[in-house]
Amino acid sequence: MKQASKPWRPLTTNCCKIEDQTIFGNLSRCKPSSSPNSFHWLPFSDLSQFSSPISNEDLSHSFASDLYDFQLLYDFQLREVRAITQNFSSNFLLGEGRFGSVHKGYIDANLRRGLKPQPVAVKILNVEGSQGHHLWLAEVIFLGQLRHQNLVKLIGYCYEDEERLLVYEFMPRGTLENHLFRRKTSLPWATRLKITIGAAKGLAFLHGAKNPVIYRHFNTSNILLHSDFTAKLSDFGLAKMVPEGSKSHVTTRVWGTYGYAAPEYMSTEETNNQRVNGFTGHLTTKSDVYSFGVVLLELLTGRRAMDKKRARNEQNLVDWSKPYLSNSKRLRCIMDPRLAGQYSVKGAKEMALLALQCISLNPKDRPRMQTALETLENLQQFKDMAVAYGHWPASPQCARNRTSNNVKIDLRAGANHKRLSL
């Protein structure tokens, strides 16, 4: 069984992330040729010449006409991309991982006629093996066809010699993961709600296609944030399209981030004290819904889906939080303390109940993303703040505080014992 690739190492803002997996099994025979030296718009359908086992035109027809946007992508030359990134300057390095790196760049007014000046993020794929090309092609296939305000916009690509590059719109606030877990300042409740609604819209859009797209890699690292905290889904290297005529699922080798993957297709084994993920199982849109539920828990609690630094019974967020989600009095015990009571009691309760539905063991019990989206949009009306309604600070009888209280009792007992000894 294969091991999932190591995560990105964010240097400033983690703009993109790559995982070791193809989107179509028969793309392994696909080997593109060098790019011609030309300045021209390249229609997306022209890319079909580089993937003989499966035609991109055939892929286009697989999507519903109301979701398919026949946008043109820019076919950048390598020298243009070098100019955009100042020759891939280390000063503009945003993040790097096993399969490549991401640089910030800037497109000026003289680069291409009709292309407006703008900051961009350039993903450079490592193509020493076939995997890098598969990831590159997967992103071009999906983001070249699907356009939505909550999907990161692909501006163009470069396929010159052995280079595989992708040029995206730049997302100035980086990843949700960075804001939730790497910064001292906390995201306000209203901002968290806005982010969840945006991400839900992105997933609902993918699932709403005639042949649904299973994102398969939903986590806080792949939710990018614009300057106004509009959420956009990124990294489509793992995405799968449900083939026409199938029973709404595909069977695939499992890849993804442990802690977010749905239990019906993720298997975990212990090998040499390391977790190894790799199990052939059914993948459906409800698998994405499970991952969405995990992210809801992260937004509620301020904890990571998996955190090895915590006590053993608190490392898995789903297992630890489940007993608290259906009881509003207990829920406040696990709310992110950095919110300091500045959250809607009713809103948090409804979000927790939605998260509980999303992480149901039975996929049939999980809501559709459109239903989840409607539930979240209704939460915007709640303005009751926990700090104003006596729900903050949390009760001292909460399980999360009980340990610290016991420690205090033990310390007092020790101090009294010392006084008696004197």
Residues 156 and 241 in one domain: no
From the list 382, 350, 343, the residue with the least C-alpha distance to 367 is: 350
Residue 14 belongs to a domain: yes
Residue 409 belongs to a domain: no
Q: Dig out the tokens for 246 from the structure.
A: 């199938």
Least confident of 101-105, 209-213, 306-310, 359-363: 209-213
pLDDT in tens, 161-182: 889 999 999 999 999 999 999 9
Cα–Cα distances in angstroms (integers) from residue 188 to residues 77, 125, 179, 234, 371, in the given order = 42, 35, 11, 23, 24
Mean pLDDT of 101-125: 93
Q: Model confidence at 6, in pLDDT bands (50, 70, 90)?
A: very low
- DSSP-assigned beta bridge partners for residue 280: 253
SS3 374: helix
Residues 260 and 339 in one domain: yes
* pLDDT at 107 > cutoff 90: yes
Residues 281 and 386 in one domain: yes
* pLDDT at 200 > cutoff 70: yes
Q: Please give the tally of structural domains in the chain.
A: 2
Residue 151 belongs to a domain: yes
SS3 74: strand
Residues 193 and 292 in one domain: yes
Q: Strand 154-158 vs strand 73-75: parallel, antiparallel, or unpaired?
A: parallel
Q: What percent of the chain has pLDDT over 90?
A: 51
Which pLDDT does position 150 carry in this prediction? Answer: 98
pLDDT in tens, 205-263: 999 988 899 998 899 999 999 999 999 999 998 888 886 544 555 555 555 677 899 98
Q: Model confidence at 65, in pLDDT bands (50, 70, 90)?
A: very low
CATH of the domain at 91: 3.30.200.20
* pLDDT at 294 > cutoff 60: yes
DSSP state of 385: B
User: How does the average pLDDT of the chain come out, rounded?
Assistant: 78
Contact indicator for 379, 373 with CB cutoff of 8 Å? no
Which pLDDT does position 395 carry in this prediction? Answer: 63
Which pLDDT does position 39 carry in this prediction? Answer: 31
Which pLDDT does position 15 carry in this prediction? Answer: 34
Q: Model confidence at 108, in pLDDT bands (50, 70, 90)?
A: very high
* pLDDT at 272 > cutoff 50: no
Which pLDDT does position 132 carry in this prediction? Answer: 76
Residue 418 belongs to a domain: no
- DSSP-assigned beta bridge partners for residue 123: 102, 166
Q: Tell me the chain's radius of gyration from C-alpha atoms.
A: 23
Look-up: residue for tokens 């207990």? 330
Mean pLDDT of 384-409: 63
Can you give the three-state secondary structure of 281-312, one letter per residue? EEECHHHHHHHHHHHHHHHHHCCCCECCCCCH
Residues 114 and 203 in one domain: no
Euclidean distance between CA atoms 120 and 17, whole angstroms: 15
Contact indicator for 258, 275 with CB cutoff of 8 Å? yes
CA triple 24-306-400, angle to 5 deg: 155
Mean pLDDT of 53-68: 41
Q: Model confidence at 124, in pLDDT bands (50, 70, 90)?
A: very high
Domain extent at residue 103: 9-169
Residue 408 belongs to a domain: no
* pLDDT at 418 > cutoff 80: no
Q: Dig out the tokens for 370 from the structure.
A: 């459109």
SS3 280: strand
Which pLDDT does position 158 carry in this prediction? Answer: 94
Contact indicator for 219, 295 with CB cutoff of 8 Å? yes
Residues 187 and 308 in one domain: yes
| Residues whose CB falls within 8 Å of the CB of residue 98, separated by 6 or more in sequence, listed in order | 5, 6, 18, 20, 126
Which pLDDT does position 325 carry in this prediction? Answer: 98
Cα–Cα distances in angstroms (integers) from residue 273 to residues 270, 319, 404, in the given order = 6, 21, 30
Which pLDDT does position 389 carry in this prediction? Answer: 74
- Asked which of 116, 138, 169 is the last residue of a domain, the reply is 169
CATH of the domain at 370: 1.10.510.10
Least confident of 14-23, 72-81, 295-304, 311-320: 14-23
Mean pLDDT of 309-334: 95
Q: Dig out the tokens for 130 from the structure.
A: 């076939």
Which pLDDT does position 84 carry in this prediction? Answer: 96
- Asked which of 137, 169, 201 is the last residue of a domain, the reply is 169
Residues 110 and 142 in one domain: yes
Look-up: residue for tokens 């039975």? 362
- Asked which of 169, 194, 218 is the last residue of a domain, the reply is 169
- DSSP-assigned beta bridge partners for residue 253: 280
78 torsion bin: left (phi>0), alpha (psi -120 to 50), beta (else) = alpha
Residues 202 and 340 in one domain: yes
Q: Model confidence at 281, in pLDDT bands (50, 70, 90)?
A: low
Q: Which of 14-23, 71-80, 309-318 has the highest mean pLDDT?
A: 309-318
| Residues whose CB falls within 8 Å of the CB of residue 28, separated by 6 or more in sequence, listed in order | 22, 130, 134
Residues 205 and 322 in one domain: yes
Can you give the three-state secondary structure of 309-348, one letter per residue? CCCHHHCEHHHHHHHHCCCHHHHCCCCCHHHCCCCEHHHH
Residue 211 belongs to a domain: yes
Residue 360 belongs to a domain: yes
DSSP state of 107: E
Residues 162 and 66 in one domain: yes
Which pLDDT does position 390 carry in this prediction? Answer: 75
Mean pLDDT of 302-320: 96
Cα–Cα distances in angstroms (integers) from residue 340 to residues 150, 315, 329, 333, 387, in the given order = 29, 23, 16, 12, 7
Which pLDDT does position 241 carry in this prediction? Answer: 87
Residues 92 and 154 in one domain: yes
Residues 164 and 104 in one domain: yes
Indicate the pTM of the whole model. Answer: 0.77
Which pLDDT does position 283 carry in this prediction? Answer: 85
Q: What is the rounded end-to-end Cα distance, in angstroms, of the chain? A: 63
SS3 375: helix
Euclidean distance between CA atoms 5 and 27, whole angstroms: 20
Contact indicator for 286, 311 with CB cutoff of 8 Å? no
Contact indicator for 301, 337 with CB cutoff of 8 Å? no
Contact indicator for 50, 159 with CB cutoff of 8 Å? yes
Residue 410 belongs to a domain: no
Euclidean distance between CA atoms 351 and 369, whole angstroms: 14
Euclidean distance between CA atoms 328 and 341, whole angstroms: 14
Which ranges constitute the DSSP H helices of 100-175? Answer: 130-143
- Please check if 322 is assigned to a binding site: no
